[in-house]
Structure 1
């Protein structure tokens, strides 16, 4: 397997350092210097590769989004899953060990608060929300009428986001994250039991 290009390696080092910096200092106090210091790289590389701190912040959010995407793909690609199993995999992909890590949770929370004021981050968060909804709706529509499936997808997406947020802010997040997955899956099972047999053929 060929080695990744040095550019790719350094970019990932800076993204990893950004996650650590936000975890330690918060997004507001994360600077080019804190990031470059943690990465052990010249601060000039941030401008060179990302055009500055804001570009690196957006690249870090894209990295978190890609981790979500890859977590789902690794669970569904090449597998003959039922729609119900696919829904379960969607839940699990949002509560992976990486997405539950302190660095990821603190970075997500910082991004969400900043997205209210930053159009670039808001756009990325919108992509994230739409991707989750679309994946859920696709699976639910295989099990029930479209109008019911749409509502089920919206409710499930809200539950996943809400439980994730409550768990991230909890004093005992690991336990809460585990409970969150169970509750989200239980909700999906209840919806399927109630509406799953009403799918028009």
Structure 2
């Protein structure tokens, strides 16, 4: 967590530099020295305000998660409250568009997932993000399905989002947002049709 007093101009600069370095050399190669050089600051500034690489990585992920949340909330705000399937599509779309689909962000996500398995604080951020996604989906799905069905489909959609992200991060061509949306919407349509027949 950055210390109080960190100049607002420096935080975005350091976060951007962190993602750029992770994009080039991966998380393990992303040293404080390389990040500070990329940002044009001294290593002392990173250590002072973030306590080192770990603190800077945590702040970088907080920025990425905030951006994801803001994108999804903006998408939902633009839709009527009763347009449940469109709102689900908007939640899915928010995971694959704009900032979230940039190469540097995708590689940072992949590094974060890997690192969070062995780090309590980053793992907590991942769990918060997962719970938020499931909650958003269940709110909309509960108007279309029973609570048990909504829970199952929400987890299915979340798994597809994560799987497409992982495959996209490992693919030299990256994530194809149109294809990602088509795959998940196809799954959703099939689930809604299946449960409607029961």
- Say yes or no: TM over 0.5: yes
Q: Which residue of 1 aligns with 2:194?
A: 194
Q: Which residue of 2 aligns with 1:101?
A: 102
Q: Which residue of 2 aligns with 1:151?
A: 152
2:30 paired with 1:30: yes
Offset of residue 177 of structure 1: 3.8
Contact 2:50 2:56 in 1 (8 A): yes
Q: TM-score, normalised by structure 2?
A: 0.90
Q: Structure 2 CA distance, aligned partners of 1:168 and 1:51?
A: 28
Contact 1:167 1:177 in 2 (8 A): no
Q: Which residue of 1 aligns with 2:136?
A: 135
Q: Structure 1 CA distance, aligned partners of 2:193 and 2:49?
A: 51
Q: Structure 2 CA distance, aligned partners of 1:170 and 1:31?
A: 25
Q: Which runs of 4+ in 1 moved over 4 A?
A: none
Mapping of residues 1-201 of structure 1, within 5 Å: 7-81=7-81, 82-174=83-175, 176-195=176-195
Q: 1:86 aligns to what SS in structure 2?
A: helix
Q: Structure 2 CA distance, aligned partners of 1:110 and 1:142?
A: 36
Computed over aligned residues only, the root mean square deviation of the Cα atoms, in angstroms, reads 1.8
Q: Structure 2 CA distance, aligned partners of 1:131 and 1:191?
A: 21
Contact 1:19 1:104 in 2 (8 A): yes
Q: Structure 1 CA distance, aligned partners of 2:93 and 2:153?
A: 17
Offset of residue 30 of structure 1: 0.8
Q: Which runs of 5+ in 2 are unaligned?
A: none
Q: Structure 2 CA distance, aligned partners of 1:11 and 1:173?
A: 27
Q: Structure 2 CA distance, aligned partners of 1:185 and 1:111?
A: 27
Contact 2:72 2:94 in 1 (8 A): yes
Q: Which runs of 5+ in 1 are unaligned?
A: none
Q: 1:80 aligns to what SS in structure 2?
A: coil
> How many correspondences in the alignment?
193
Moved more, 73-82 or 36-45: 73-82
Q: Structure 2 CA distance, aligned partners of 1:35 and 1:20?
A: 8
Q: 1:135 aligns to what SS in structure 2?
A: helix
Q: 1:157 aligns to what SS in structure 2?
A: helix
Offset of residue 6 of structure 1: 7.4
Offset of residue 178 of structure 1: 2.6
Q: Structure 2 CA distance, aligned partners of 1:124 and 1:112?
A: 10
